[in-house]
Amino acid sequence: MPKTGERRLQILQMLALMLENPQGEKITTAALAARLVCSEAALYRHFASKAQMFDGLIEFIETSLFGVINRISSAEADGIKQLEGVLVLLLNFAQRNRGMTKVLTGEALVNEKDRLQARINQLLDRIEAAIRQALRIAAAQDKIPGETDFTALANLLLCYVVGRWQNYVKSGFSREPAEQWEKQWPMLRAACRSGTLRTPPD
C-alpha cells in the first residue's frame, strides 16, 4: 500500500492527467476516484476537498517555476539572458505540463473556489515581478534604455506568455507554446532594446 505522501502525489498526478483532456469536461471527485480505483472517502483521507487538491497543483507549479527562476537569477548575470531564460522556462513548462497549463490559464478553475484563481493571480504577479527585475538589470547594464517603463514592458511580456498558454489550451494542445519562439524572441528582444515603452514625462 502506498505511503500517505506517495498516495497524495498519485492523486495530484491523476488530477493533472485528467486536466489534459482537450474536451475540458468537469472533473469530479467521483471520476477521479474511479480513475484511481478507490473510493471518494479514500481521496478525502488525503485531501479535505477538491479545492485542496488544486492547491496542491498550484503549490507544485509555484515550487517548480520559482525554483528555476531563482537559479536563473543566481547563475546568469546578463539581464537580457535572464529575461530570455525566464520566458523560455514559462513556455516550456506549459508545453511539458498540459494539465498545469489549464490551471495557469484559469480554465480548470472556472467552477472552483474563487481563492484558487486569486492564488494564480498572485503567482502571475510574482512572475511579472521577476521579469521586471530582469529588465531593470538589463537597463543597469545599458542593454535597454534606462527610461524604459519597466512595469508596462514586464506586463506586455507576461501577456505574451499567457497568450501562448491560452493558444495551447484553446487549440486542444496542438499549438505548442514554444513553437514560434525562435522567430518571436528576436522581435521581443528588439522591442525591449528600442526603448519605445518609456515612462511618460510628468
Q: Given its phi and psi angles, is residue 173 left (phi above 0), alpha (psi -120 to 50 degrees) or beta? A: left
Residues facing residue 198 across a β-bridge: 148
Say what the pLDDT of residue 1 is.
46
- In this predicted structure, the answer to whether residue 3 has a pLDDT above a threshold of 70 is no
Please state the rounded mean pLDDT for residues 9-32. 88
pTM recorded for the entire structure: 0.91
3-state SS, residue 148: strand
pLDDT tens digits, 105-120 = 999 998 889 999 999 9
pLDDT tens digits, 87-108 = 999 999 999 999 999 999 999 9
CATH class of 53-194: mainly alpha
* Domain-wise residue ranges, the chain: 53-194
pLDDT tens digits, 53-87 = 999 999 999 999 999 999 999 999 999 999 999 99
27, amino acid identity: I
142, amino acid identity: D
Give the phi and the psi of residue 23 in degrees, each rounded to 5: -70, -20
Rounded-to-integer distance, Cα 189 and Cα 170, Å: 27
